[in-house]
Amino acid sequence: MTVTDLKKLISYWTSSSDEDFSVARDLFRNRKYPYCLFFCHLAVEKMIKAVVVAKLHAHAPWTHNLPFLAGHAAMTLDKGDLEFLVELTRWNLEARYPSDLLTLKKKADASTVRVLIKKTNKFLKWLKNQLQKNY
């Protein structure tokens, strides 16, 4: 992969991540909580993929599994970060394939989602810092 290709791919993942997190915040304001968490997941997934590309100079794996992606990028995560990634991965799947939307909406109350948005924001900032260290 050429340097130009790397820059374009990293730019794609980071700008797309920023846009998805903006959508997540809009969805929160509109009380669309399960979908808000789905977009939080997308934002984190894409930023991790940017880090993978920067570190490995190769395309990121085709997966939505955040702990797997973080491991692929050899990220050092504490237990809380890993639990956060597991939680967001769960929301990706549940919001994508809601077998019982009413149950899903009950799990995604405003206070729970507010906490996860804050964690997403903090983790995205950490990922951007990782990206700057590796690119």
Short-list 42, 55, 6, CA closest to 124: 42
Structurally, the chain folds into a number of domains equal to 1
Mean pLDDT throughout 53-78? 93
Q: CA 86 → CA 6, 30, 127, distances in Å?
A: 28, 25, 16
Short-list 7, 82, 8, 15, CA closest to 43: 15
CATH number at residue 113: 1.20.120.330
**Residue in the block written with tokens 């934002």:** 43
Q: How far apart are CA 105 and CA 96, in angstroms?
A: 13
88-111 residue pLDDT tens: 998 886 656 666 666 777 788 999
Domain hosting residue 74, numbered range: 3-134
How much is the pTM?
0.92
